Structure 1
Amino acid sequence: MKSTLAIVMASALAFPAIALAGDNGKRWSRSEWKEEYRDGPCEVKRESKKGEFKREVKCKDGVGARWRGEWNREFRDGRCFVKQEAKRDEFKEEVKCETGR
């Protein structure tokens, strides 16, 4: 009984870290790729080009949107410049990174 509970707890703690590691590993890669998928009621489009990453999330009629209201935000994340825009039914994120030497 205790070992089963320990396995369940370890899995619950490890899952978010694995999910984030998978996204970050692909997100900042130097290769070109594009993918589209659904996240609940939202459509997600992600694409990467050399030194640039874009993600666009659209939720029909705002259903399932994780953001509140309308806002814009720009900031630096290490060597990258991040631009985010949220509307009632759409979230856009654009990341442009300086190329490494």
Structure 2
Amino acid sequence: MPSKTALIRLMLAALLVSPATSSADDFRSPGDKRWWKGEWKEVYWDGPCQVKSESKRGEFKREIKCKDGIGADWRGEWKDEYWDGPCLVKQDVKRDEFKEEVKCERRHQ
């Protein structure tokens, strides 16, 4: 049978650990939202670039503007349109601007 001091130490350790686990934060970044669940809008700065994101049910838009192309993660200019599963993705990219639009069709089951 354990001694009283060992039991007291065990209970103190449990009391110290329990608040830490109950107040644990969600460590995902704000951009990691599930865009297909609800409506939201956000504007924030990612380094020297301004990012605008908007979501509506089944639709997502993101626009990134970097003044004079400084801080941009992409190179070149292009327009692209493709299907990713049930979603149509449109990209319009310039040297200092990246626009992406995703529209998803509802699947009938």
TM-score (norm 2): 0.67
- Out of 75, 92, 96, the residue aligned to residue 85 of structure 1 is 92
Q: CA RMSD in A?
A: 1.6
Q: Match of 1:74, as an amino acid? A: E
Q: Is 1:94 the counterpart of 2:92 in the alignment? A: no
Partners in 1 of 2:72 and 2:62 — Cα distance?
Answer: 15
Which residue does 2:6 correspond to in 1? none
Which residue does 1:27 correspond to in 2? 35
Unpaired runs of 5+ residues, structure 1, are 1-17
Give aligned pairs, total: 80
Q: Match of 2:35, as an amino acid? A: R
Looking at CA atoms only, which structure, 1 or 2, has the larger radius of gyration? 2
TM-score (norm 1): 0.72
- Deviations along 1:16-66, one digit per CA (max 9) or x if unpaired, are xx55xx72x52222x111011111110000011111100000001100111
Q: How many percent of aligned residue pairs carry the same amino acid?
A: 68
Which residue does 1:38 correspond to in 2? 45
The question of whether the paired residues in 1 share the 8 Å contact of 2:36 and 2:57 is answered with: no
CA drift at 1:90: 0.2
- Report which of the two has the higher share of helix: 1
Runs of 4+ in structure 1 over 2 Å off: none
Unpaired runs of 5+ residues, structure 2, are 1-27
The question of whether the paired residues in 1 share the 8 Å contact of 2:44 and 2:52 is answered with: yes
> SS of 1:48's equivalent?
strand
